[in-house]
Structure 1
Amino acid sequence: MNEVKTPKKNWLYYYTIVLLVIFLFNVLAMPLLNRRSVQEVDYGTFITMTNNKEIGQVQIQDNQILFTNKDNSQIYKTGIMDDPARTERLYASGAEFSSEIIEEMSPLLSIFLSWVLPLLIFIVIGQYISKKMLSKMSGGKDSMMFGMGKSNAKVYVKSSEGIKFSDVAGEDEAKENLTEIVDYLHNPGKYKDIGASMPKGILLVGPPGTGKTMLAKAVAGEANVPFFSMSGSEFVEMFVGMGASKVRDLFKQAKEKAPCIVFIDEIDAIGKKRDGQIGGNDEREQTLNQLLTEMDGFEGNTGVIILAATNRPESLDPALTRPGRFDRRVPVELPDLKGREEILKVHAKKIRIGDNVDFNKIARMASGASGAELANIVNEAALRAVRDGRKFATQSDLEESIEVVIAGYQKKNAILTSKEKLIVSYHEIGHALVAAKQSNSAPVQKITIIPRTSGALGYTMQVDEGNHYLMTKEEIENKIATFTGGRAAEEVIFGSVTTGASNDIEQATRLARAMITRYGMSEGFDMVALETVTNQYLGGDASLACSSETQTEIDRQVVALVKKQHEKAIRILLENRSKLDELAQFLYEKETITGEEFMEILNA
């Protein structure tokens, strides 16, 4: 897409010119105007004027003497002579010793240069700025003082190289909603015939990296109408009222070019809930109020469709999200298995890739990845192929790039001792063995004990066979048991524990607490929500909403649940002790084994 920009000069530009003119005037012009002629006389004249008390100021330098007459109207210069009594004669004559002869100008010239000339400069520059502002106002382009209230919106026009809907994969429902908007802008008649009207605003919500901004760019690429793009943070100004002025200017431009689309990225920067507290951010609230009025006030915005994106929809003001303003909310969620496979294929077109790549397998390994992460995985695979001196990326490059995104690069200089290496081998086999012996656990894909830059000394990769939108209580319990399998193996084999299970403990505790407080899978609380989730698209922070006594009971049940699954993992490992030793020794020697190798030894 081609971006149309209008060059502008703000108030800082003009003030810089004024300061530069004054600086040059004082540095260059004033010394020239202040300079007076110096009359050179002989030393005898200097002695005569001294005796006659006709000297006003005197300055004795190394190679000359400067002095003035009594009224300081003339400067004289004479050479240095050997005259020991010179100082006494000057004191007796009443002369004033000075470190620098003060050069004064006439009073009229001083008034002209100090007051009249600077005023004339400011008047000339002021007339120039006024003419520029009047010409802009008459042209209807910008009526804001020095451009401070201008919206700065980027205007995109149709381009054959822009992003299209075909370039966005994995978000079929969102594309369907937005395709309807584009169709309405192209053919409004068929909608008006039946009495239907398009939504005034469409809110794109979802986690970071899922393609909200890319979808907006695709709308710009598909539509034959002007497309205004602006970030929510660009409305925030230091001066109160400037943000509201930018909103007015944005909608003024949009209405002039209607029908058109306005896209506001990260709208939560200006659309947060108004709490009504005294001393709040008046500038942000004024900006929000102006946006509410422009979207659905007394004066309609016919022909202007608003697109906005955010990953914090719960923080938006209810007046902004009500029908009549943002009528439609379009979730842009993490892609499912089919969506991940399509996204990988779209990004794989940008690189050279082998013919034997199984995108379905890569998509299953990248479970939970966003569109941006999948693009990063494909790029990492291409970079790995270049490092290895190959002309195209292979299946192994893509699989390794998934590990890079998940756990970081391999640490080439991290050398484990033999004992640490053996402990890590048993730890990772403990995870894999507990997972394999439970019917509802995902199959093991890969086990490695090569340290990674994320801090992991090893990891066990499990891959689901397909999409899973629900998890049963038994599946969650089995997952907790798998998390505890590494620590259980250390206890069974070495009779001691290490710090290597810290991340396992954190994940097992989080999952057990969610079972009790959010999923209603506890023994005594039944179907009661004891925890509320905020920022579901930004990490899903949770906060308890119960009494202190209930919190104590929650903690007791969490400990009991994790302990029960920990004991279950120990029992599984004791029952399969011989396989645990055999697999751990095999991993110790090879450092990385596949899921097929693991299952072959386990089932032998």
Structure 2
Amino acid sequence: MSRAAKSGPPPDHLPAPMPAKPWRWGWWTALFALMVVLVLVSLPALWSGTAKTLSYTDFVSDVDADRVASVTIDDRGYVRGELRDGNEFVTQIPTALDTGGLSAQLASKKVPVTGTQTDGGWGGLLSFLLPLVLLVAMFMWLSRRARGVLSGGNLGFGRSRAQIIEAERPTTRFADVAGYDGVKQEVSEVVDFLRDPGKYAAAGAKGPRGVIMVGPPGTGKTLLGRAVAGEASVPFLSVTGSAFVEMFVGVGASRVRDLFREARTRAPAIIFIDEIDAVGSRRGNGIGGNDEREQTLNQLLSEMDGFDQSSGIVVLAATNRPEALDPALLRPGRFDRQVMVPLPNQTERAAILAVHAEGKHLDSDVDLGRVSRATPGFSGADLANLINEAAIFAVRDDRTDITAADLVAARDRVLLGRRDSSNALLPDERWAVAVHESGHALLAALCEHADPVEKVTILPAGMALGATEQLPEAERHLYSEAYLNDRLTVHLGGRAAELVVLGQGSTGATNDLVGATELATRMVTEFGLSPSLGPVGYPQSQLGFLPAGRTSTGVRSYSEQTQRQVDQEVSRLLRKAEDRAVALLARNRDALERLAGLLAEQETLDGAAVLSVLRGSALTTVSHAS
């Protein structure tokens, strides 16, 4: 975004305009003069282009027939003349021919003959050299133009592509960023330091050189950067990490230099680099260590070390891949402060939902607190999408008010995908899905530490033929071993119900097995809940941004023997959970079949309906040790 034009004298901190380069006019004048001279030298040839070209045989025939009025012959055998009918002609005497006979023939016909000598002086030299000089001049001009483009001309690759936000600031403020009070405090201190550096100097405190915001995608890091631009009364230069990377070696480093040069002329200023991992990835991966990305990173490191701390320049960056950043970029003195921007908790989700619900018509039955409890693990971007999807559902029904049912449908749409009514199940498949989902729901009610059931349905959505949704009563930050074991049991409840009622398993448990295996693997490798391996941990990702079971490098950090033990322990935990699930459902088979029948009839049941079905039977539980 360009700065708005202002009337009056320019501010003091703006650099003076660069003077026009006179050499450009000199080059253009010289090139124009060369072209004019070349055209003048070529005029005779152009004029001769109107004459008729004759072969030498035709020329001799015309002489014999007395049709030639006058002839001019130069010493190279070039003949130019006029016929008696007034037309001009040109021809060429072959070099091997004796011209004596031609002269006698012309004399016998009384044709006036004029002899000329080829100009071997300046005219001939100019006609030979001018095209060569013109080509050399054009080549030099194009080379200079290319160097200017690459080093930062008006249309140059080497110019920084930063958006300078100064006159027209974004309307986003910290008040528009719901939650994250600690994060906003740390970021706002940067703005406060630039506004009043004397306050910090009086206490002997130094302002930060750089602040990097780290967190999962969609948590509002870029939004916080825009809020800084809205709050700060200093120039704000915004650029993405990918804008530095080009196919030409050296262009990225040139853009970094240009960015910091621009910031120095406007100091105090803030530089915001979004998705810095695009340029700040670990070095040493390129062949020879001299690729464009490494040169750009080296220049960025040099610039962050090079500027004086009292100059009032702070670099603000954001990334969701901190494990990919070069360690030299994160050391104190460059990015002094690393601010974690995690997924929002329940209170923050409610506040974020309230922000995105502004300007929308919410029905009286909408409880944003309940919606926030039903969306654990949602980021700010996910919550904004949830509200938008609910508004779309309302529009489909020709309504302007968003109801609680719209939000529930939007949540199912986000988590499960679009419901496909055309994907009708066969009667046997419908009963199998009802049994499967009833197994999940029943075990969620029977296991003491499991989260309560919110809804169970057999309506297909996306790749899922049915779904059982559980909502925690309170947001958890610590998971006990008993909770994890109950969660494993609920995961395997669908398969266990199929074994109890149908006598065999099916492919419907595929996703359940994947989730249970990932959870059991983390219990063994990360949480130290395996008696065989003991209290050891092999974390997959230090910050937890990667999916469970994956590392940033894709290579495990333990031996084959340890891997064998891990596989054995994971298998033991899964078999134990399955045996427990089968035992629980077998002892409560009446309730399982009644719940499956009701689900097959009504297709969707809420948690209260599940509990009412279960209260009609004498429930039998199984201890964790069994």
TM-score band (shorter)? 0.7 to 0.9
Are positions 1:554 and 2:566 aligned together? yes
Q: 2:213 aligns with which of 175, 196, 204?
A: 204
Match of residue 351 from structure 1: 360
CA contact (8 A) 1:207 1:538 kept: no
* Residue in 2 that maps onto 1:466: 474
Q: 1-side partners of 2:456 and 2:299: how far apart?
A: 57
Which residues of 2 match residues 29-44 of structure 1 at below 5 A? 33=46, 36-37=49-50, 39=52
CA distance in 1, matches of 2:170, 2:297: 35
2:611 corresponding residue in structure 1: 599
Structure 1 residue 498 and structure 2 residue 506: aligned?
A: yes
Alignment of 1:227-266 (within 5 A): 227-266=236-275
RMSD of aligned alpha carbons:
3.9
In the other structure, the counterpart of 2:493 is 485
Change (3 A) 1:556 1:123: closer
SS at match of 2:362: coil
Q: Deviation string for 1:316-347 (max 9, x for gaps)?
A: 22221111111111000000111111111100
> 2:519 pairs with 493, 511, 517, which one?
511
Alignment partner of 1:584 is 2:592: no
Q: Deviations over 1:558-584 (max 9, x none)?
A: 111101100111111111111111111
Matching residue's letter, 1:529: G
Distance 2:281 2:581 in 1: 47
Among candidates 427, 442, 446, match of residue 433 of structure 1: 442
Of 443, 451, 465, 1:442 maps to 451
Do the aligned residues in 1 keep the contact of 2:532 with 2:569 (CA within 8 Å)? no
Describe the SS at the equivalent of 1:341.
helix
Quick check: 2:343–2:377 contact (8 Å CA) kept in 1?
Answer: yes
Contact 1:169 1:339 in 2 (8 A): yes
Q: 1:353 to 1:588 in 2, by over 3 A?
A: same
Cα 1:4–1:525, aligned 2, differ >3 Å: closer, same or farther?
farther
**Contact 1:158/1:221, CA 8 A, preserved across alignment:** no
- The CA deviation string for residues 81-110 of structure 1, in whole angstroms up to 9 with x for no partner, is xxxxxxxxxxxxxxxxxxxxxxxxx98897
Q: Please give the per-residue CA displacement for 1:129-165, whole angstroms capped at 9, x wherever unaligned.
A: 79x97xx9xxxxx965963321121111255751111
What is aligned with 2:579?
567
For 1:502 and 1:53, locate their aligned partners in 2 and report how far apart those are by CA, in whole Å. 106
How far does residue 393 in structure 1 lie from its aligned partner after superposition? Answer: 1.0
Residue 239 of structure 1, CA deviation:
2.8
Say which SS state the counterpart of residue 401 (structure 2) adopts.
coil
Specify whether residues 110 and 335 from structure 1 end up closer, same or farther in structure 2 by C-alpha distance, changes over 3 A only.
Answer: same
Partners in 1 of 2:336 and 2:443 — Cα distance? Answer: 49
1:183 maps to what in 2?
192
Instruction: Check 1:574–1:281 CA distance in 2 against 1; reply closer, same or farther (3 A cut).
Output: farther
Offset at residue 554 of structure 1 (A) = 1.3
> Is residue 216 from structure 1 mapped to residue 225 from structure 2 by the alignment?
yes
Secondary structure of 2:311's aligned partner? coil
Distance 1:178-1:585 versus aligned 2 partners, 3 A rule: same
Distance in 2 between the 1:286 and 1:506 partners? 43
1:288 match: 297
Contact 2:3 2:167 in 1 (8 A): no
> 2:443–2:585: 8 Å Cα contact kept in structure 1?
yes
User: CA separation in 2, counterparts of 1:75 and 1:367?
Assistant: 100
What's 1:169 paired with?
Answer: 178
Judge conservation of contact 1:347–1:378 (CA < 8 Å) in 2: yes
Task: Read off the aligned partner of 1:597 and give its amino acid letter.
Answer: A
Given the superposition, is the C-alpha separation of residues 144 and 125 from structure 1 closer, same or farther in structure 2, using an over 3 Å criterion?
Answer: closer
Q: Report the alpha carbon displacement of residue 539 of structure 1 after superposing the two structures with TM.
A: 2.9
Q: Check 1:52–1:474 CA distance in 2 against 1; reply closer, same or farther (3 A cut).
A: farther
Q: Is the 8 A contact 1:295 1:301 kept in 2?
A: no
Aligned equivalent of 1:452, options 458, 461, 483: 461
Corresponding residue for residue 86 of structure 1: none
Kindly report which structure 2 residues correspond to 1:12-411, keeping only aligned pairs within 5 A, or say none: 33=46, 36-37=49-50, 39=52, 48-49=61-62, 111=128, 114-115=131-132, 147-157=156-166, 159=168, 162-275=171-284, 279-297=288-306, 299-300=308-309, 302-411=311-420
**Structure 1 residues not aligned, in runs of 5+:** 9-13, 56-69, 79-105, 137-141
Corresponding residue for 1:84?
none
TM-aligned CA deviation for residue 355 of structure 1: 3.0
Q: 1:49 to 1:283 in 2, by over 3 A?
A: same
TM-score of the pair, normalised by structure 2: 0.77
Distance (whole Å) between structure 1 residues aligned to residue 579 and residue 394 of structure 2: 45
Q: Which amino acid aligns with 1:595?
A: G
> Secondary structure, in 3 states, of the residue corresponding to 2:468?
strand
Report deviation, 1:546: 2.1
CA distance in 2, matches of 1:591, 1:35: 96
2:557 match: 545
Match of 1:94 in 2: none
TM-score, structure 1 length as denominator?
A: 0.80
Amino acid at match of 1:533: S
Q: What amino acid does structure 2 have at the position aligned with 1:275? A: G
**Aligned counterparts of 2:502 and 2:134: Cα–Cα separation in 1:** 92
Q: CA deviation at 1:283?
A: 2.4
Q: 1:348 & 1:483 partners in 2: Cα distance?
A: 34
CA contact (8 A) 1:268 1:313 kept: yes
SS of the equivalent of 1:330 reads strand
User: Separation in 2 of the partners of 1:75 and 1:428?
Assistant: 107
3-state SS in 2 of match to 1:228: strand
The answer for unaligned runs of 5 or more in structure 2 is 6-13, 19-23, 69-76, 86-122, 617-626
* Structure 1 contact 294–300 (Cα < 8 Å) conserved: no
Q: Per the alignment, in what secondary structure is the counterpart of residue 519 of structure 1?
A: coil
Mapped to 2, the partners of 1:564 and 1:515 lie a distance apart of 14
Secondary structure, counterpart of 1:587 in structure 2 = helix
Q: Distance in 2 between matches of 1:489 and 1:107?
A: 102
Larger CA deviation: 395-404 vs 267-276: 267-276
CA contact (8 A) 1:232 1:264 kept: yes
User: Structure 1: how far apart are the matches of 2:48 and 2:321?
Assistant: 69
Judging changes above 3 Å, is the alpha-carbon distance between structure 1 residues 39 and 276 closer, same or farther for their aligned structure 2 residues?
A: closer
Q: Which amino acid aligns with 1:587?
A: L
Q: Judge conservation of contact 2:495–2:505 (CA < 8 Å) in 1.
A: yes
Question: Share of identical aligned residues, percent?
Answer: 42
Post-superposition shift, 1:120?
A: 6.8
Cα distance change, pair 217–298 in 1 and its aligned pair in 2 (3 A) = closer
Q: How far apart are 1:178 and its partner, in Å?
A: 1.2
Q: Counterparts of 1:268 and 1:383 in 2: how far apart (Å)?
A: 35
8 Å Cα contact 1:312/1:535 also seen in 2: no
Taking a change above 3 Å as real, the CA distance of residues 239 and 522 of structure 1, as seen in their structure-2 partners, is: same
1:516 positional shift: 0.8
Contact 1:4–1:156, Cα closer than 8 Å, also in 2 = no
Once the two structures are TM-superposed, the CA of residue 533 in structure 1 deviates from its matched residue by 2.6
- Distance in structure 2 (CA, Å) of the matches to 1:298 and 1:584: 70
C-alpha spacing 1:125/1:54, structure 2 compared with 1 (3 Å): farther
